[in-house]
């Protein structure tokens, strides 16, 4: 027997002498394997059967486990600590803004109201804007709020050597040095975070007044609601026209066109002294509101008059007979000019602010621009894939027109009527029934039918959605803007009129809203 074998037998005999009676130790090679085997799961309270050598009684003895195994209750401790920088940013800067008005905490089972959700979205948007400003400043070394910064156009010399020894020496003890800053962002970015930001405007998603309007027709091609410059709302219900005073809340009937005829369109003059009423038979009645008397009836159309538009003393009418008439109400003639180009019912008419161009839309999916002095179309746009009823001119930019298409189109499109070109389009996802520009801001409101039945407020030209106003159960076919430009009224086939505070007010235009408050009122 060689020396190695004798040493091994010696070691085995010593182990047998020191072990309890009946205990037989495992081979030496097994201890070596278990000492070098890694622990697969140190967080578990149960171990594999190979972790401990067998005891004489058949049980596993934890006191005899290999010294290379780690206890399951022992925690891993590392010698490095990495700070959480984002926690420092949230503590130093108010990135998580909250509404100025405190609210009670909401329980888990209590649903959040639509208004609360909308306000939260506004503050989340403000937080995202602050984040984007900081990122842009860190990457481009410029303040993104200054779009005309010349550093954006000049290339950065990243690999040009420059000595900063003098600068570091002169400002070594300055507390404003970046190495002493508690955050990794630069001083310019901290200035952006600490600078005051404009508060976000919250639009209530609940109408402040609802009027019950029985017999309000669910017809896409009609225009039955108009708001006068004297704050009087005209509504066509069946064969009657009702007037509602926003100042006093009083409702009275102006006229009845007589059954079986019905009202199909309304339009106030700019002075709000007269109201034009189109009928299903194709007639147009002119009513003096002050004395509640019909002063004239104008004929010419052979089918219903679905839309009317005023420009000074000229009344323009569009009909299902596909014709457009220009009528000077100061003369005896029924009409002076006839515009024939649409191959379907004319359902949209709107004069621009200067009265030099007329936009018309029809069921033939066409949008046509007419010059006031001509009977031939100036421009024809065939991009829409459905009927064009929603039309409105931008009051802040001359020659900019917005139009909306029906169910098969769903787009709001913008046109330059000076050059006859398209300047943009946006898919809204549902039928566009009406459009109206804000008088005070560059914003746009649209009403929709299939399938959302909602009111949307947009920021132009980015077409960022500012607010969504649900509530109507059927398509929102009618829209009118208040004379101060702050409030809109929407009408739908659900026979209700809803009033919304949408656009901002200036201090000089603030008025008492007590006369507009209330729950539900019936027009009749």
HEC secondary structure over 135-147? HHHHHHCCCCCCC
Give the pTM: 0.66
- Lowest mean pLDDT across 140-154, 259-273, 279-293, 499-513: 140-154
Going through 206-345 in order, the beta strands assigned E by DSSP cover: 209-212, 225-227, 232-237, 240-245, 251-256, 263-268, 274-279, 284-288, 293-298, 305-311, 314-319, 323-328, 337-340
pLDDT band at 308 (very low <50, low <70, confident <90, very high): very high
Average pLDDT for the chain: 77
Q: What percent of the chain has pLDDT over 70?
A: 63
Helices 187-194 and 114-140 pack at an angle, to 10 degrees, of 160
| Least confident piece of the model among 14-28, 251-265, 293-307 | 14-28
pLDDT at 111: 45
Q: Quote the CA–CA distance of 257 and 264 in Å, as a whole number.
A: 11
Half-sphere exposure of 304 (CA within 13 A, CB side): 19
| Residue 286 clears pLDDT 60, i.e. is over it | yes
More confident residue, 129 or 26: 129
CB-CB contact of 296 with 253 (8 Å): no
DSSP, res 134: H
What's the pLDDT band for 171 if we cut at 50, 70, 90? low
Structural domain spans, the chain: 3-64, 209-522
Q: What is the pLDDT of residues 36-89, one digit of tens each?
A: 444 444 444 444 444 444 444 444 444 444 444 455 556 566 566 555 544 444
Separation between Cα atoms, residue 287 and residue 265, nearest integer Å: 13
Please give the DSSP secondary-structure letter assigned to residue 330. T
User: What was the pLDDT predicted at 461?
Assistant: 93
Measured between alpha carbons, how far is 500 from 487 in angstroms, rounded to an integer?
Answer: 6
pLDDT at 166: 45
The pLDDT score that the predictor gives to residue 272 is 94
State the average pLDDT over residues 447-454.
92
**pLDDT for the residue 134:** 74
Residue scoring higher pLDDT (304 or 29):
304
Higher pLDDT, 29 or 218: 218
Residue 470 has pLDDT above 70, yes or no: yes
CB 323 within 8 A of CB 338: yes
Q: Give me the pLDDT at residue 207, please.
A: 95
pLDDT for 7 equals: 44
Q: What average pLDDT does the segment 432-451 reach?
A: 94
Averaged pLDDT, 202-210: 92
**Which whole number is the average pLDDT over 108-113?**
44
User: Is residue 386 pLDDT above 90, yes or no?
Assistant: yes
Q: At residue 152, does pLDDT exceed 50?
A: no
35 pLDDT tier (thresholds 50, 70, 90): very low
- Which pLDDT does position 217 carry in this prediction? 96
- Using a pLDDT cut of 90, give the percent of the chain over it: 56
Strand partners, 278: 265, 284
Stretch 2-23: mean pLDDT: 47
What's the confidence (pLDDT) of residue 46?
A: 41
Nearest to 278 by CA among 287, 289, 270: 287
| CA gap 47, 419 in Å, rounded | 81
- Which homologous superfamily does the CATH classification assign to the domain defined by 209-522? YVTN repeat-like/Quinoprotein amine dehydrogenase (2.130.10.10)
Residue 462, number of CB atoms within 10 A of its CB: 10
Which own/partner pairs from 506-515 qualify as long-range (CB within 8 Å, at least 24 positions apart)? 506/440, 509/484, 509/485, 511/484, 513/208, 515/246, 515/247, 515/248, 515/249
**C-alpha–C-alpha distance, residues 95 and 97, integer Å:** 6
How large is the average pLDDT for residues 376-388? 97
- The encoded tokens of residue 77 equal 């401790």
Supply the pLDDT for residue 199.
62
- 281 near 258, Cβ under 8 Å? no
């Amino acid at each position: 027997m060689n020396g190695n074998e004798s040493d091994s037998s010696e070691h085995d005999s010593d182990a047998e002498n020191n072990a309890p009676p009946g205990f037989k130790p495992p081979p030496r090679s097994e201890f070596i394997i278990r000492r070098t085997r890694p622990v697969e799961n140190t967080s578990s309270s149960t171990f594999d059967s190979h972790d401990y050598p067998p005891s004489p009684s058949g049980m596993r003895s934890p006191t005899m486990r290999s010294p290379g195994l780690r206890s399951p209750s022992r925690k891993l401790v590392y010698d490095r600590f990495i700070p959480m920088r984002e926690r420092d940013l949230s503590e130093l800067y108010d990135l998580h803004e909250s509404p100025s008005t405190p609210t009670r905490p909401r329980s888990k089972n209590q649903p959040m109201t639509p208004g609360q959700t909308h306000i939260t979205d506004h503050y989340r948007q403000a937080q995202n804007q602050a984040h984007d400003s900081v990122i842009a400043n860190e990457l481009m070394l410029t303040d993104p709020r200054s779009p005309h910064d010349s550093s954006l156009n000049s290339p950065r010399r990243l690999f040009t050597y420059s000595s900063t020894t003098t600068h570091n020496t002169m400002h070594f003890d300055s507390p404003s040095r970046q190495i002493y800053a508690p955050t990794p962002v630069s001083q310019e970015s901290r200035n952006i975070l600490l600078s005051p930001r404009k508060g976000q405007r919250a639009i209530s998603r609940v109408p402040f007044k609802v009027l019950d309007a029985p017999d309000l027709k669910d017809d896409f091609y009609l225009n039955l609601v108009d708001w006068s410059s004297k704050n009087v709302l005209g509504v066509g219900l069946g064969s009657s026209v009702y007037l509602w005073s926003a100042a006093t809340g009083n409702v009275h009937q102006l006229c009845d066109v007589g059954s079986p005829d019905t009202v199909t369109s309304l339009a106030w003059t700019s002075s709000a002294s007269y109201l034009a009423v189109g009928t299903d038979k194709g007639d147009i009645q002119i009513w003096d509101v002050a004395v509640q008397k019909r002063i004239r009836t104008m004929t010419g159309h052979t089918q219903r008059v679905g839309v009317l538009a005023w420009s000074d003393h000229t009344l323009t009418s569009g009909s299902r007979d596909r014709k457009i008439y220009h009528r000077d109400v100061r003369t005896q003639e029924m009409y002076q000019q006839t515009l024939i180009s649409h191959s379907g019912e004319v359902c949209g008419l709107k004069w621009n602010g200067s009265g030099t161009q007329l936009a018309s839309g029809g069921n033939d999916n066409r949008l046509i621009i007419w010059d006031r002095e001509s009977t031939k179309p100036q421009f024809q746009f065939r991009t829409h894939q459905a009927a064009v009823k929603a039309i409105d001119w931008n009051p802040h930019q001359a020659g900019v027109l917005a139009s909306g298409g029906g169910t098969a189109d769903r787009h709001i499109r913008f046109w330059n009527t000076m050059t006859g070109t398209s300047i943009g389009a946006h898919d809204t996802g549902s039928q566009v029934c009406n459009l109206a520009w804000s008088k005070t801001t560059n914003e746009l409101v649209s009403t929709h039918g299939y399938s959302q039945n909602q009111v949307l407020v947009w920021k132009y030209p980015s077409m960022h959605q500012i607010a969504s106003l649900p509530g109507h159960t059927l398509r929102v076919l009618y829209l009118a803007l208040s004379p101060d430009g702050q409030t809109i009224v929407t009408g739908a086939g659900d026979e209700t009129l809803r009033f919304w505070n949408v656009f901002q007010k200036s201090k000089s235009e603030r008025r008492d809203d007590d006369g507009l408050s209330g729950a539900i009122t019936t027009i009749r």
